[in-house]
């Protein structure tokens, strides 16, 4: 089961770009990389998913280098409402999603 490592916490200010990097050295060929966001007292919410290179949607961008041993979630121009815990998950084919402790992002005014 691919294990992920992310910073426990990060601080940012409103309007800044935030990059959260996740390490997954043991990622398998079939694994996708998925990021979730969780607000207090709510269930995790899907943000973005990718396999390689770069993926962008209306919420974020995901950068994955060629070796796929890490990935970086990029949140452009964060606001106070982006304060949440962000989880990086690597789907081990046929296994169930395992959540790590995530990265607690605090956006300050």
Give the shortest CB-66-to-another protein separation in angstroms: 19
Contacts of 8 (CB under 8 A, 6+ apart): 101, 103, 104
Residue 65 binds another protein (CB under 8 A): no
Give the shortest CB-16-to-another protein separation in angstroms: 26
Residue 51 binds another protein (CB under 8 A): yes
CA dist 82 and 54 (Å) reads 21
Residue 5 binds another protein (CB under 8 A): no
Order of strands across the sheet with 53-56? Answer: 18-23, 70-75, 61-64, 53-56
Interface region with another protein, contact rule CB under 8 A, candidates 8-16, 17-25, 28-36, 60-68? 28-36
Give the shortest CB-50-to-another protein separation in angstroms: 9
Gyration radius of the chain over CA positions: 13
Question: Site mask, another protein, residues 68-97, x = CB under 8 A?
Answer: -------------------x---x-xxxxx
Contacts made by residues 54-61, CB under 8 angstroms, sequence distance 24+: 60/35
Give the total of residues touching another protein (CB under 8 A).
25
Residue 102: what are its φ and ψ, rounded to 5°?
A: 75, 180
Residue 9 binds another protein (CB under 8 A): no
Considering beta carbons, is residue 16 or 61 the nearer one to another protein? 61
């Amino acid at each position: 089961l691919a294990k992920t490592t992310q910073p426990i916490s990060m601080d940012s200010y409103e309007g800044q770009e935030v990059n959260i990097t996740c390490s997954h050295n043991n990622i398998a060929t079939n694994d996708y990389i998925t990021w979730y966001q969780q607000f207090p007292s709510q269930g995790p919410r899907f943000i973005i998913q990718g396999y390689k290179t770069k993926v962008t949607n209306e919420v974020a961008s995901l950068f994955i280098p060629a070796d796929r041993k890490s990935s970086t979630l990029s949140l452009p121009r964060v606001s106070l409402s982006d304060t949440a815990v962000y989880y990086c998950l690597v789907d081990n084919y046929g296994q169930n999603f395992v959540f790590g402790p995530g990265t607690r992002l605090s956006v300050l005014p």
